[in-house]
A and B are shown apart, each in its own frame.
Chain A
Amino acid sequence: MGNLEILLQAPIFSVQLLIDGLLVGSIFALAAYGMALLWGVMNIINISQGDYVILGGYVTLTLYNAGIHPLFGVPVAAVVLFIVGWAIYRAVIYRVVDRDLFISILATFGISILLQQLMDQIFGADIQSAESGLGQIFLFDNQVTVSQIKLVALAVVIVVGVALVLFFKKSRMGQAIRATAQNARAARLMGINTDRVYAMTFAMNAALCGAAGALVVMTWVIQPFIGLAYTIRSFMIVVVAGLGNIAGVVAAALGLGAAEQFAAFLLGAEFQIGFVFGLLVVILLVRNMVLKRQRQVLK
């Protein structure tokens, strides 16, 4: 446990790990919001989630290459992906909404392959990135660096999170989405056009992913075939946080982000992803035990 010693002797490095973990988690939180939304309202597990993220990255990259500052990519990618999401809903998803979960997994898997190949055709298979030019903040005698673009990501996540909460509480569409999530049939009987609600939900999910993608291309790198990592991460966050709970999604995303940084430092990078999966199993087991106990009380 030589690495633990480093942390004990120089606690400053744990500050670095903690900050970075929280900020990395915030980027994943955006895509995870969307996944929770989709899953909760439409009962669809979207395998193509990560590909919307990457597509959002390419939208931003296109702006960047045209000489526009990539930060504008955040809203632009969201709008473009909103339209793409709407189109995909109209073309494919509306056919699978009320069907078996397996059918929708298969359908979104197909969309994922299609998007990957299209991106490969249009943008090429090379690794690409955009420079935000925002730089770093150096703290504690340069021992801790905080990338400003990651701070921007955190700000975007908070703003979008608050906006979503307000949207669901105040707007008619938001209320319709919540009603549909609770009971689609009853919502239809009350005169809600659930087809429109579904289209809106799907498009909003894609828009969230698009914004996340814009942040990803400025923070890391993109390539047409690395979307799956983002799908899996969103899935995991949603499983931990549960559906319909935006604050929970943010907390889970940040918590997992920080946990994996410490795991990677202490155990070695090869256990970074494995540790998160292990943690997932533990969380599910514990949650199951807690729920069981509650059920017994209710009896």
Chain B
Amino acid sequence: MFQYLKPVFVSLSVATLAVSLVGAAQAKVEGDTIILGAALSFTGKYKTNGKHTKNGYELAVRKVNEMGGVKVGDKSYKLKVVYYDDESTPARGAQLAERLIKQDGVQFMLGPYSSGLTKAMAPVTEKYKIPMVEGNGASRSLFNKGYKYLFAVLSTSEQYLAEAINLAAQQAVAAGKDPADLKLALAMENDPFSQDIRAGVLDDAQTHSINVVIDDKLPKELNDMTVTLTKVRALKPDILVVSGHSKGAATAVRQMMEQKVDVPMFAITHCEAADVVGKFGAGAEFTLCATQWAETMTYKDDYFGSASDYAKLFEKEYGYVPPYQAAESSASVLVWVDALQRANSFDNVKLRDALAATDMQTFYGNINFDETGKNIAKPMVLRQVQGGQYKVVAPTKWASDKLIYPRPKWSER
């Protein structure tokens, strides 16, 4: 049957050739428009966050364009982003990075959603020496490979919950106790992201000589934490730290509530994504949630104003409160704008150097990349659910509210 298909193959390859020729001619800057490229998850398991990422990019692009665009040389340029759907699969992400660069001639990349996709695309952008600014790949394995063209505006994953340990140590000191007497329990999903978080938590635990009494690595397939919680009940740790994306967050909060497990401090990631307050109401009270950004922070910039101005604008535009995934995506665009204007050029090496020298404040936080390309100027934030609201309680410098510690026992609520 293949001989019948031959003409189809021939015409297809001719078409592909034509497309690639046109693509090569179509460069990174068209007239007065600078073209950025991004592969995002519009379908598949990351599509919710893929949408947040796109909304973040789009809002920033629109804002920058409204305010006169990007000045390079004597000319003002508008921004535009070319998107593809990576179907939440890393292999597709890598293909699309190749396509964006080779066929569409994109020279300025924005990151995809998730560490996995970023990990798949970074080798491609690196190969072609195309800078990529990303706001949604936090795994520290992205920053120990010597990549020169990858820049991340967010805090890396080992910082996610480390702050909780410092907070517990502070509380112990304030109560006149020795932090070394604290007992720590960890329940971390057995995937690279959560294991990074675990490494960060363990480092901080070591600094304070905190005793680790439980260190469970939850299998990905698992959606029941009863065993770990039984251990918690037996060993009575002072701090319980859980990470396992939305599934881990929902499972942990739900089963803590159902089984009335008491622990003085309970810190998790992905509260907002799992909507633990909406789902479990009072059961989520006093939970500490790690977040990259909160709209109550006092950072500001010239484009969006303060963090809360950004939140208001975003909500007006898209009808929901911006999750940090959207905020860090918007910040990525602002980093590009800043670098393009400082480099005053479209040369990729000059742009890379300009990006590396970034030192700015955005509504999302301060941004300053170290030599591996990760942002070292912005701390992670811990929020505590108080009265159904997320209240910033750490780091103390940016905190709007006081930590409630220890968590009241279930029998006393």
Contact = CB atoms under 8 A, between A and B. Distances in A.
Interface string B220-259: 0111101110110111000000000011001100100011
Contacts of B273: 126
B250 A269 contact: no
A135 B250 CA distance: 17
Nearest to B50: A125
A203 B215 CA distance: 43
A120 B231 contact: no
B402 interface: no
A120 B223 CA distance: 19
Interface in A138-158: 138, 142-143, 145, 147
B48 A6 contact: no
- Residue in A124, A221, A225 with the greatest tally of chain B CB atoms within 10 Å: A221
Contacts of B222: 269, 272-273
B43 A120 contact: yes
Contacts of A117: 43-44
B357 interface: no
Contact of B227 (A143, A221, A228, A261): A261
A259 to B, nearest CB: 12
Contacts of A229: 221, 223
Given A117-B43, A125-B47, A17 B247 contact: no
- Residue in A136, A142, A223, A272 with the greatest tally of chain B CB atoms within 10 Å: A272
Interface size, B (range): 35 or more
Contact of A17 (B44, B230, B254): B230
A43 B104 CA distance: 50
B218 interface: yes
Contact of A269 (B44, B228, B279): B228
A84 to B, nearest CB: 22
A232 B221 CA distance: 10
- Residue in A126, A127, A229 with the greatest tally of chain B CB atoms within 10 Å: A127
A127 B190 CA distance: 18
Contact of A129 (B228, B231, B260, B279): B279
Contacts of A273: 219, 221-222
Contacts of A127: 246-247, 250, 274
B227 A138 contact: no
Given A125-B47, A229-B221, A261-B227, A268 B260 contact: no
Contacts of B274: 127
A147 B226 CA distance: 11
A24 to B, nearest CB: 6
Contacts of B235: 6
Contact of A220 (B43, B215, B224): B224
A145 B227 CA distance: 12
A275 to B, nearest CB: 10
Contact of B48 (A17, A124, A220): A124
Considering the complex of A and B, which 8 residue pairs feature the smallest CB-CB distances, nearest first?
A270-B217, A269-B216, A229-B221, A264-B227, A220-B223, A127-B246, A145-B259, A273-B219
23 contacts: A6-B234, A20-B227, A117-B44, A120-B45, A125-B46, A126-B246, A126-B273, A127-B247, A129-B254, A143-B233, A147-B258, A221-B251, A223-B247, A232-B221, A268-B216, A269-B216, A269-B218, A269-B219, A270-B217, A270-B218, A272-B227, A273-B219, A273-B221
Given A17-B227, A20-B227, A229-B221, 9 more contacts: A6-B234, A20-B226, A129-B250, A136-B260, A142-B260, A145-B259, A223-B246, A223-B247, A270-B217
